[in-house]
Amino acid sequence: MRPFDGRRILLGVTGGIASYKTVALARLLTQAGAEVDVVMTRAAQEFVGAITFEAVTGRRTYSDIFGAGNALDHIRLAREAELFVVAPATADFLARAAHGHADDLLTAALLANTSPVLLVPAMNDRMWANAQTARNVASLRGMGYTVLDPDVGALAAGEGSGPGRMPEPETILAHIARSLDSDATLAGRQIVVTAGATREAVDPVRFISNHSSGKMGIAIAEAAWRRGADVTLIVGHVDVPVGAGPNVVHAENVESMSAAVADALSGADALIMAAAPADFKPSRKSEAKISKRQDMPGMSIDLAPTTDILRATLPLRPPGAVIVGFALETGDALGKAAAKLKEKALNMIVVNDALERGAGFGVDTNRVSILTPNHEPEVLPLMSKAAVADAILDRVGPLLSGR
């Protein structure tokens, strides 16, 4: 699984109750294909046993800096690591790391380390708010370490709720992926992605929409964020996974999605229009629920076209912005996509057939063709939507490199 396959992660665990979450994190990393070496402090072993980590990683757990055969563990582990993660990072550990201590295996390895460092604090909210902790965090960030802010939530028993809770394993996993998969062509770029269907109201309880799940657009937004971009994800009525990643903006209908795109586009380097906004809306919305009467011989709803969001962006596009469209077609998909590529002045269009098995709505796979001006269509095989997202970004990146 990109970007974890075969990557070597050094995972430090310090003495906090949140260390039980680190077991789940180690399992997620291992399942994703990473090789995880766990280093536990003495205090950490008061909360979780070393054998627990060995069971989920399938690898030895380290804790001793002294003893036969251990003398150079801190050097070897640091040298082999592609990313150094500490979760939870207690207030004590942050203080020792900020001041260059090397009195146990974990801090000694940190001093010998040259790979990127991700620290995940967890402590009581009063400890997090303490000025000394704030200075230590600022010092660590000044050294180039990434230090996450803790979540706000329930703390240890009797301590109520506040900032200090360690983020959930899935959130930490996303930050680890971002640290491993930075892309020079995308890092720091402002990318706007749309996803999902809109709903166009018929009356207060009914609407016109389509079957779009938003999975493709969400996959693109997550992949762009993982690769270092600053991403705004504008979504219709879809479920967005909770955790680290893009800034999410919700849009009720085509009108609100178009307004959100226009607002986000002003400072954007790229727009990837992967949403499936409704093409039609009722020409008139009923202010009251339309009654269903058995003696009614029939009824009809007059439809009107909705705003074409990509066309509406034509006068708003920043100079040099990369604009990517999507087309879901039935019949002559390539011909229809080529026409849209030209008519909407796109840098790229991604097209697939709604009737093809495994490539339509609500599935985790897709088979797409990518069209760019003055080039033959590039037909990709059936693959996961996550892989399609990376394939699209592999082609967007070079287009951005000239900006």
Distances (CA, A) of 71 to 54, 64, 100, 230: 21, 9, 19, 43
Sign of CA dihedral 218, 221, 224, 226: negative
In three-state secondary structure terms, 265 is helix
CATH class of the domain whose range is 190-283+300-401 = alpha beta
Q: Which tens digits make up the pLDDT trace of 240-279?
A: 876 668 999 999 899 999 999 999 999 899 999 999 999 9
Listed residue (214, 230, 333, 352) closest to 275, CA to CA: 214
Establish whether domains 8-180 and 190-283+300-401 are of one fold: yes
Task: State CA 110 to chain mean position distance.
Answer: 27
Listed residue (233, 211, 221) closest to 360, CA to CA: 211
Fold of domain 8-180: Rossmann fold (3.40.50)
Buried b (16+ CB within 10 A) or exposed e, 327-365: bbbeeebbebbbebbeebebbbbbbbbeeeeebbeeeeb
Task: Write down the pLDDT at residue 29.
Answer: 98
| Identity of the residue numbered 258 | S
Residues belonging to the active site:
210
Say which DSSP state 15 is in.
S
Taking the C-alpha atoms of residue 128 and residue 143, their distance in angstroms, rounded to an integer, is 19
| Identity of the residue numbered 292 | K
Sign of CA dihedral 217, 220, 225, 229: negative
> What are the residues facing 83 on neighbouring strands?
9
Residue 378 token pair: 């590039």
| Identity of the residue numbered 95 | A
Residue 302 token pair: 């007059």
Task: Write down the pLDDT at residue 72.
Answer: 84
Q: What is the dihedral of CA 171, 176, 182, 186, to 10 degrees?
A: 0
- On whether the CB atoms of residues 13 and 172 are closer than 8 A, the answer is no
Q: Residue written as tokens 């999410």?
A: 248
pTM of the predicted structure, to 2 decimals = 0.90
Domain boundaries, the chain: 8-180, 190-283+300-401
Say which DSSP state 183 is in.
-
Task: Write down the pLDDT at residue 66.
Answer: 77
- DSSP secondary structure string, 115-167? S-EEEEE---HHHHHSHHHHHHHHHHHHTT-EEPPPEEEE-STTS-EEEEEPP
* Other Cβ atoms within 10 Å of 325 Cβ, number: 23
Listed residue (22, 186, 197) closest to 106, CA to CA: 22
Task: Write down the pLDDT at residue 68.
Answer: 65
Return per-residue pLDDT of the chain as tens, 403 residues.
899 999 999 999 999 999 999 999 999 999 999 999 999 999 999 999 999 999 999 999 999 887 666 778 899 999 999 999 999 999 999 999 999 999 999 999 999 999 999 999 999 999 999 999 999 999 999 999 999 999 988 777 666 777 889 999 999 999 999 999 989 999 999 999 999 999 999 999 999 998 899 999 999 999 999 999 999 999 998 888 766 689 999 998 999 999 999 999 998 999 999 999 999 999 999 898 888 764 556 678 899 999 999 999 999 999 999 999 999 888 888 999 999 999 999 999 999 888 888 777 778 899 999 999 999 999 999 999 999 999 999 999 999 986 6
User: Reduced to 3 DSSP states, what percent helix, strand and coil does the chain have, rounded to the nearest 5?
Assistant: 35, 25, 45
Taking the C-alpha atoms of residue 284 and residue 345, their distance in angstroms, rounded to an integer, is 32
Task: Write down the pLDDT at residue 391.
Answer: 97
* Other Cβ atoms within 10 Å of 159 Cβ, number: 12
Overall size of the chain counted in residues: 403
First to last CA, the chain: 31
Residues ≥6 apart with Cβ < 8 Å to 280: 200, 208, 303, 304, 305, 306
Q: Which tens digits make up the pLDDT trace of 38-71?
A: 999 999 999 999 999 999 999 999 998 876 667 7
Taking the C-alpha atoms of residue 175 and residue 244, their distance in angstroms, rounded to an integer, is 7
